[in-house]
Structure 1
Amino acid sequence: MLKRCIFLFAILCTISVQSQSLVEHTKEPAKDSIRKSLLLKSIGNGYLPTKYFNFDLRYLIKYNQYEGIRTGFGGITNNTFSEKYRVNSYVVYGFRDHRFKYSLGGGFRLAKQTNTWVNLSYTDDLQETGSTKFLTDSRVFQFFEPRLLNIDLFHKHITKAISLEHQAGPKLLTGTEFAVSNVDPTYNYSYVLNEKEFKSFNLSMVKVAFQWEPFSKFELSKGRYKRKKSGYPKFTIQYTKNFNNLFKSDFSFSKLDFRTIYKIGKQDDTFSEIILVSGVAGGNAPLTHLYHAYPNNITKEKILQRFSVAGLNSFETMYFNEFFSDKFTTIQYKYFLPSFNFSERFKPQLVLISRYAIGDMKSPERHQNITFGSLRKGYTESGFEINKLLFGFGLSFTYRYGAYHLPNISDNVAFKFTFNITL
């Protein structure tokens, strides 16, 4: 693991140096500087633009425990191609599982001012078991996704979906989706219901999501609302319903997921960030569609063997696949101190962190061939990060304590890299 981190460190240093070089070049005057600035902004959002098609940088290269190296390409048509229609797709290949994954999709716009789009897609890919995605989440691009390195619990899915995205108002974004999926866990797992064992299953579900930003400021630009300033708190809520016997669906269950983000203070000074995430599932939901608390620690004996890169909002001392829940709540608190201005290029920042998770599982006996614990006693960890020490890299130290403190002191410690870079 340490060798892999050193290899990734070298790659990310190169990316960081090149990015900083681009930033310096954007200080040049005239139109060339403006073009470079727009290109840099596009790359920061994860796209490499061409005349009619924007290549999506998320699909270039990744790594996880199941696929090994995952590489490919994809993208989406841009406004030069059409302002009313779009086509988006990707294809990737995993060198460890020797399998192609892909998605084909497209959409058409119903209304410009409300940015209302109808989208269609066919996807054959993997998804992390226990993870939840909000329909209204704006695109998030990271040069490096830390948790992905160590994830080994995925399920295959073939999903056909139709969705509607709609800006109900300048501060309210909505999303609706109906999807039919065939789900096949890549690990030895079966779900037992009414004395019947399911190793793979069919799902037919509807999702409805709302994202409300009551304190953000928006402006109308070229017939569309654009965020001028982020205000806090922000709220996201999503309801999911899976229907039994609809398009051969095997189960009936529902989920309600909630998230709020709150920042107190000014970004360039001392400020605090609080993130609360909660979810509850009712009915007969398989493990693939339940919850974990975004753990980010691998099961190795020594601290240096567990040395990797800290996530942005993950539990660094919680081991992968250690806990699963059908209802849970996590609270994460970060206190950002002002950067230390040692020089123009060297401005490290200290961040104090504390995290708490609580959850439970109603019928764990239904989930066969997999062992996991409950969070009913409450899980706690605290620590700190020193960010931006070198090329966007820093260090983090986190300690696990409370009800789930482990007998061996070193097993409660997580010592890792951090990586923060903004284009």
Structure 2
Amino acid sequence: MLKRCFIFICYISFFSSHAQFETENSVKIQQDSTKRKEFIQHLGQGFFPTKFLDLDLRYLIKFNQYEGIRTGLGFQTNNKFSQRYRINSYLVYGFRDHRFKYSIGGGFRVSEHTNTWINLAYTDDLQETGSTKFITDGRFFQFFEPRLLNIDLFHKHITKKIALEHEFHKTLIFESEFAASKIEPTYAYSFNINGNSYTNYDITNAKLALNWNPFNKIEKLSESKTRIKQGYPKITLQYTKGIKGVFNSDFNFSKIDFKSIFRLGNSNKSFSEITLVSGVAQGEVPLSHLYHAYPNNITKETILQRFSVAGLTSFETMYFNEFFSDKFTTVQFKHFLKPFEISQRFKPQVVLISRYAIGNMENPEQHNNISFGTLNKGYTESGFELNKLFFGFGLSFTYRYGAYHLPNISDNVALKFTFNVSL
């Protein structure tokens, strides 16, 4: 009897230890899987995580027509460094203009409940002339930025700013910013106003912005973690006020910018996406702070010479620096057909595209040494993309028609690569 009891106890002990080993092994596998998933998510956002710092991959290598190859490194501290304070910075070098550019910044959290932060930054860098940034858009990362390759119109800026971030709700985000900048265009340009001619100038402005995502759904994963399921429409409104006389600012002006993204249908099947962007600038506004309409076509003679990579929201047949406006609206319509499931790995997708832009400028004669047109007649282009043919690459065909149709048929055609990769 004692012998049988001893054997039974050994039997139970063996299987208990074996079950514990399997459980521990299973937990370890789950932890490894979670870490791998988080690592891939970090990479998808453009970060390579380390213990206290997340290296910013946006600055590793870029190319544009002014700087040539632009390379460097950036970082931001993560929650393991501090949940209350953060530091972010980058340093890059342009091999064609032989200049270092950099930014040093940081912030501290005022309220955890409302995720309220106060941020400060000092930046010495370039910005594309005519581009508008919505400060609530936050971070945007692409492995490959196609428009950047062909941009040649930049202005240097040295900017000191203080900013406030605040969440009224997970679906309603507010940001404000106060900044003072010294602007120096990298191209021959003068802004003539009130009898004065400015080639370099100072601008001090204040910005207020709201980002509203009314149909976002917040899913609670655990006590400390939540996930936001994206809903549509997404709406952003931003107001900018240029203040003359403050920190030697040269101009008084105001700008109102609006953006909304609508999506109809199921993203796993076929769906449509409409993007509306609009802006109005009034007052003493130099070209650097006016609007282009996201052009992405280089001025070359033949279609093959213009062959490059299509952007996500750009006008593929509109030539760089062809149009500028002080008021404009663009509407872009995309219809994504259901992917063709040819195999597990090969699932090409057709996207039908139509874009429209309209704009105007009240006093184009104020902007000297640069020639451009306006969009008062309305600009139209349509085409299609065949995406994900080979390692994320595809093809794009777009045709320009309507009021700004060009006499030479080939000048209205844009044939390009597309590049779509998601982690």
TM over 0.5: yes
Query: Match of 1:409?
Result: 409
> Counterparts of 2:139 and 2:307 in 1: how far apart (Å)?
29
Q: 1:128 aligns to what? A: 128
What is the CA-CA distance between 1:72 and the residue it aligns to? 0.2
- 2:172 maps to which residue? 172
Deviation sequence 1:375-414 (CA, Å, 0-9, x none): 0000000000000000000000000000000000000000
Matches for 1:269-418 after TM superposition, within 5 Å: 269-418=269-418
Distance 1:165 1:32 in 2: 34
Contact 1:309 1:418 in 2 (8 A): yes
TM-score, normalization: structure 1? 0.92
Secondary structure of 1:311 counterpart:
coil
- Asked if structure 2 preserves the Cα contact closer than 8 Å seen for 1:112 and 1:224, the reply is no
Q: Note the C-alpha offset of 1:202.
A: 0.3
How far off its partner does 1:170 sit? 2.2
Alignment: residue pair count: 396
Q: Distance in 2 between matches of 1:345 and 1:45?
A: 23
- Range 167-176 or range 92-101, more displaced: 167-176
User: What is the CA deviation profile of residues 52-92 of structure 1, one whole-angstrom value per residue up to 9, with x for unaligned ones?
Assistant: 10000000000000000000001100111100000100000
- The one-character-per-residue Cα deviations of 1:201-253 (angstroms, maximum 9, x if unpaired) are 00110000000011111246788895521111110000000001111100000
The alpha-carbon deviation at position 34 of structure 1 amounts to 2.4
Query: Aligned in 2, Cα 1:378/1:223: closer, same or farther, shift over 3 Å?
Result: farther
Contact persistence 2:323–2:372 (CA under 8 A):
yes
Q: Which amino acid aligns with 1:351?
A: V
Contact 1:286 1:367 in 2 (8 A): yes
In structure 2, the residue matched to 1:41 is 41
Q: Which residue of 1 aligns with 2:80?
A: 80
* Cα distance between partner residues in 2 of 1:29 and 1:247: 58
Kindly indicate whether residue 156 of structure 2 is the aligned counterpart of residue 152 of structure 1.
no
Distance of 1:222 and 1:201 partners within structure 2: 52
The 1-side partners of 2:402 and 2:185 are apart by: 33
Shift of 1:31: 2.9
Residue 83 to residue 382, structure 1, CA distance change in 2 (3 Å): same
Q: TM-score, normalised by structure 2?
A: 0.92
SS in 1 for 2:318: strand
1:89-104 alignment runs, 5 A limit: 89-104=89-104
**Structure 2: how far apart are the matches of 1:255 and 1:98?**
34
Between 1 and 2, higher relative CO (CA 8 Å, sep ≥ 6) is seen in: 1
Distance 1:368 1:219 in 2: 54
1:181-205 superposed Cα distances (whole Å, 9 cap, x missing partner):
0000000000001111100000110
Letter in 2 for 1:359: G
Percent identity between matched residues is 66
1:138 deviation in Å? 3.0
Question: For 1:283-304, what per-residue CA distance to the aligned partner results, in whole angstroms no more than 9, with x for missing partners?
Answer: 0100000000000000000000
CA contact (8 A) 1:114 1:224 kept: no
Distance 2:130 2:422 in 1: 29
Counterpart code for 1:401: Y
Q: Is the 1:113–1:223 contact (alpha carbons within 8 Å) kept by the matching residues of 2? A: no
**1:42·1:49 contact (CA, 8 Å) conserved in 2?**
yes
Aligned to 1:242: 242
Q: Mind listing any 5+ residue stretches in structure 2 that lack a counterpart?
A: 1-27
Q: Which runs of 5+ in 1 are unaligned?
A: 1-27
Equivalent position SS for 2:246: coil
Q: In the alignment, residue 231 of structure 2 is paired with which amino acid?
A: G
CA-based RMSD: 1.3
Return the letter of the residue paired with 1:272. S
- CA offset digits 1:161-197 (Å, max 9, x no partner): 0000010112100100000000000000000011111
Cα distance change, pair 356–225 in 1 and its aligned pair in 2 (3 A): farther
Quote how far apart the aligned CAs of 1:140 are: 1.4
Residue 340 of structure 2 aligns with an amino acid whose one-letter code is F
